[in-house]
Chain A
Amino acid sequence: MDELFDYFQGMTLPAQVRVSMACCLNMCGAVHCSDIALLGYHRKPPIVDSEVLEKVCEIPLVIAACPTAAISPSKTDDGKKTVKIKGERCMFCGNCYTMCMALPLSDKEGDCVTVLAGGKISNRISPPKFSKVVIPALPNNFPRFPEVCESVKKIIEAYAADANKYERVGDWAERIGWEKFFEKCDIPFTEHLLDDYRLQYDTYRTSTQFKFTEAAWDVSRAIGGIE
């Protein structure tokens, strides 16, 4: 908020910009429908504290808590009941930790900030929409999170310069196309931004309507379509 202070004081933006933050996926409040949303996220699967797990947790509940069925029952060498976790199936939601304190996830390098953009609540002009992930992970650099601040500023400045009056961040991105959003905000589009969750098809573009940006030429070059 220090970095964006001038925007709070003035009324220079094309429309209201709601910046919200949630420290975990539980997202108290409506973070997932904000113009810009900052979300704390884990990137390492839980550590299994087998020493106490069978005492402090209900193992069937823990297994049932996993949305991707990555957790299965197991036994330690000395015969204690515990669980094992298939790391490649983990989507780091932390639901198992909610059910069982013996499965902590937090980690200095693993934990990160995910930046989402373009959501809204209001029905004004266009219907409410979800925020979209635009930067998969930025480091947790305490106390001032310089990388996060810089990225948010880049988005807001690009938006302020280019959007029409009354146009929210998401409406702007949709009008110019998300490819232009990434170009104008100078944000790389990485493989992590391709949806790999089970609802992924909803986000695929099944049309020849697109705009040429450097990211498009990169693909053409890579496949040998152009020099």
Chain B
Amino acid sequence: MFEPNEEQQELKYQELRIYSDEELHNYTEEELKNFKCKHDIPDLDELEKGPWPSFVADAKREALHRRKLAQDRMMIERDVVEDMLGQVQLSFDDGETHWKHGGIVGVFGYGGGVIGRYSDLQEKFPSIAHFHTVRINQPASKFYNSDYLRTVCDLWEYRGSGMTNMHGSTGDIICLGTFTEQLEPIFYELTHVLQQDLGGSGSNLRTPECCIGKARCEYACIDTQALCYELTHFYQDELHRPAFPYKFKFKFDGCPNGCVASIARSDMSYIGTWRDDIRIDQEAVTAYIGGEFAPNAGAHAGRDWGKFDIEKEVIGLCPTKCMRMNGGKLEINNKECTRCMHCINTMPRALRPGTETGVSILFGAKAPILDGAQMSVLTIPFMECEHPFDNIKEVVEKIWEWWPEEGKNRERLGELIQRQGLAKLLQVLEIPPMPQMVREPRSNPYIFWKAEDVPGGWERDINDYRSRHKR
């Protein structure tokens, strides 16, 4: 049963709301049809055509909505959205962005959460002279109730542009566009009234993010939400007050399918796994073979791929070839299984991950800046993963004793591992090496032996040598 780390009050929109229903629904569809942005935006109008929902259509709704609100009901200019659209059009014309280089903004005492954004055409677009982004730390797996969302939206209409991005690639709720003087009141409202934390930016712990986990997914091997929540709270100071050489990311995947891409983008990737046997329901296997259940939950329904063939589609595609049918029953040699999830994904009603679950921990993923992209390296094969996750916190702290100390400025953990070697990481973690850490053994023999590795050390006497070998 979930217990919050601090007392949580229930947010009631009816008590916290800023706008009346009339103000929220202040324009007709007819008015929307006739709406014209104050700037000429032909290329953006073009983007409204086509079947996919367009951000331009949404922005125009918001622009019209603000036009019809009283100016004293908004703390920044009403035409912020229209100026934003105008500037985007101009950027299309020029083929160059008109946002200035970031620069400082922030809320008092915090080193993260706000990203400075300024227009470089402030005379032409005064309402977006400042257009700062506010990152809000999303709840684990991004579950909300409408009271919460409506309250955030009202606040952002009142003190910002009203435009949001749910969610940014980092996972946070992104509130787009406000002026510097609004930041403190927004921050106060978010933290003191909504009990809501800012997200990460800059050289700090970035907003931790997890997949949907046990809340909605039968594959989840670990409670990703509990782990994400606990580590977010426990390491809150690292989120707020940057003292790292560069950014540091935690991402939590419940299974090897990797829905939050932890292996590709987090310095410390947590991926749920199991160490016992895949659970098999033989009746359901038979039902898949017989065509009663659609394979892969119907994901191939749009095309005729022929009758489901368990030999070809499951057993034949198994990367370790550890499965076979024997007398109408599916057998799995679990010792050989690498838990790739293919058979489970294909026949989820018949196969389930085992029950002795835990987490694999990998280190060092990053995007291409600077030394090329890296994926995380498998380092800890299995670790129990139960609240309050003390064993995992110990690992985190070992890493945070090493990387901030040894890492150069703007060096990600993955780059430090490359620079000092995987063996150094193992020393830091106090674990032995295992073949699972490499795809294959090294092919060059240029081993950096140390004196203590070699019998007798490196101290030798040339005279002793010469006593056996003449010059």
A121-B264, A123-B340, A142-B95 known; A67 vs B370 contact (CB < 8 Å): yes
> In this assembly, does A106 line the interface, its C-beta being within 8 Å of a C-beta of chain B?
yes
Asked if B92 and A1 make an inter-chain contact with CB atoms under 8 angstroms apart, the answer reads: no
Measured between C-beta atoms, what is the minimum distance from B30 to chain A in Å? 26
Measured between C-beta atoms, what is the minimum distance from B219 to chain A in Å? 11
Asked if A128 and B369 make an inter-chain contact with CB atoms under 8 angstroms apart, the answer reads: no
Q: Which residues on the A side are within 8 Å of B97 (C-beta)? A: 106
Q: Besides the contacts A30-B264, A65-B410, what 14 more A-B pairs have beta carbons closer than 8 Å?
A: A1-B52, A12-B302, A25-B368, A27-B368, A28-B170, A29-B261, A64-B409, A67-B371, A108-B96, A121-B258, A128-B258, A130-B373, A165-B313, A166-B342
**CA–CA, A29 to B170, complex, Å?**
6
**CA–CA, A123 to B51, complex, Å?**
33
Looking at B49, B170, B369, which has the most chain A CB atoms within 10 Å of its CB?
B369
Asked if B261 and A121 make an inter-chain contact with CB atoms under 8 angstroms apart, the answer reads: yes
> In this assembly, does A174 line the interface, its C-beta being within 8 Å of a C-beta of chain B?
no
Measured between C-beta atoms, what is the minimum distance from B449 to chain A in Å? 25
Measured between C-beta atoms, what is the minimum distance from A125 to chain B in Å? 5
Question: What 1/0 mask marks residues of chain A from 96 to 131 whose CB sits below 8 Å from any chain B CB?
Answer: 010001001011110100000000011111101010
Asked if A97 and B169 make an inter-chain contact with CB atoms under 8 angstroms apart, the answer reads: no
Measured between C-beta atoms, what is the minimum distance from B277 to chain A in Å? 18
Measured between C-beta atoms, what is the minimum distance from B165 to chain A in Å? 11
Q: Which residues on the B side are within 8 Å of A93 (C-beta)? A: 368-370
Measured between C-beta atoms, what is the minimum distance from A194 to chain B in Å? 16
User: Within the complex, which residue of A8, A10, A123, A143 is in contact with B46, where a contact is CB–CB below 8 Å?
Assistant: A143
In the complex, chain B residues 96-121 whose Cβ is within 8 Å of any chain A Cβ: 96-97, 100-103
Asked if B47 and A11 make an inter-chain contact with CB atoms under 8 angstroms apart, the answer reads: no
Closest A residue by C-beta to B296? A166
Q: Which residues on the A side are within 8 Å of B341 (C-beta)? A: 122-124
Asked if A124 and B257 make an inter-chain contact with CB atoms under 8 angstroms apart, the answer reads: yes
A25-B367, A25-B369, A33-B375 known; A101 vs B101 contact (CB < 8 Å): yes
Question: What 1/0 mask marks residues of chain B from 252 to 287 whose CB sits below 8 Å from any chain A CB?
Answer: 000011110101110000000000000000000000
Chain A interface bracket (under 10, 10 to 19, 20 to 34, 35 or more): 35 or more
A1-B52, A125-B317 known; A32 vs B256 contact (CB < 8 Å): no
User: Within the complex, which residue of B47, B95, B409 is in contact with A144, where a contact is CB–CB below 8 Å?
Assistant: B47
In the complex, chain A residues 1-52 whose Cβ is within 8 Å of any chain B Cβ: 1-2, 5, 8, 10-16, 22, 25-33
User: Within the complex, which residue of A11, A67, A106 is in contact with B302, where a contact is CB–CB below 8 Å?
Assistant: A11
Asked if A97 and B298 make an inter-chain contact with CB atoms under 8 angstroms apart, the answer reads: no
Asked if A140 and B95 make an inter-chain contact with CB atoms under 8 angstroms apart, the answer reads: yes
> In this assembly, does A226 line the interface, its C-beta being within 8 Å of a C-beta of chain B?
no
User: Within the complex, which residue of A5, A22, A32, A95 is in contact with B264, where a contact is CB–CB below 8 Å?
Assistant: A32
Closest B residue by C-beta to A95? B370
Closest B residue by C-beta to A94? B369
Asked if A128 and B342 make an inter-chain contact with CB atoms under 8 angstroms apart, the answer reads: no
Interface residues of B (CB under 8 A from A): 43-44, 46-47, 49-52, 92-97, 100-103, 168-170, 256-259, 261, 263-265, 296, 298-303, 305, 313, 317, 319, 339-342, 345-346, 367-373, 375, 409-410
A106-B96, A126-B319, A197-B372 known; A28 vs B302 contact (CB < 8 Å): no
Q: Which residues on the B side are within 8 Å of A12 (C-beta)? A: 302-303
**CA–CA, A16 to B339, complex, Å?**
20
Write 9 A-B pairs (CB below 8 A) sorted by A numbering. Answer: A11-B300, A22-B169, A27-B369, A29-B169, A29-B261, A101-B102, A125-B319, A125-B342, A126-B319
> In this assembly, does A223 line the interface, its C-beta being within 8 Å of a C-beta of chain B?
no
Interface residues of A (CB under 8 A from B): 1-2, 5, 8, 10-16, 22, 25-33, 64-65, 67, 93, 95, 97, 101, 104, 106-109, 111, 121-126, 128, 130, 140, 142-144, 165-166, 197, 199
Looking at A25, A101, A166, which has the most chain B CB atoms within 10 Å of its CB?
A166
Q: Which residues on the A side are within 8 Å of B340 (C-beta)? A: 123-126
User: Within the complex, which residue of B51, B313, B342, B346 is in contact with A2, where a contact is CB–CB below 8 Å?
Assistant: B51
Measured between C-beta atoms, what is the minimum distance from A55 to chain B in Å? 14
A65-B410, A124-B342 known; A130 vs B256 contact (CB < 8 Å): no
Asked if B345 and A107 make an inter-chain contact with CB atoms under 8 angstroms apart, the answer reads: no
Q: Which residues on the A side are within 8 Å of B52 (C-beta)? A: 1-2, 5, 8
Closest A residue by C-beta to B49? A2
Closest A residue by C-beta to B344? A124
Measured between C-beta atoms, what is the minimum distance from A152 to chain B in Å? 14
Q: Which residues on the B side are within 8 Å of A104 (C-beta)? A: 101
Asked if A144 and B46 make an inter-chain contact with CB atoms under 8 angstroms apart, the answer reads: yes
User: Within the complex, which residue of B47, B96, B301 is in contact with A111, where a contact is CB–CB below 8 Å?
Assistant: B96
Measured between C-beta atoms, what is the minimum distance from A43 to chain B in Å? 12
Asked if B367 and A32 make an inter-chain contact with CB atoms under 8 angstroms apart, the answer reads: yes
Measured between C-beta atoms, what is the minimum distance from A73 to chain B in Å? 19
Measured between C-beta atoms, what is the minimum distance from A168 to chain B in Å? 11
Which 7 A-B pairs have CB atoms at the shortest separation, nearest pair first?
Answer: A108-B95, A29-B169, A2-B50, A101-B101, A11-B302, A142-B92, A28-B169
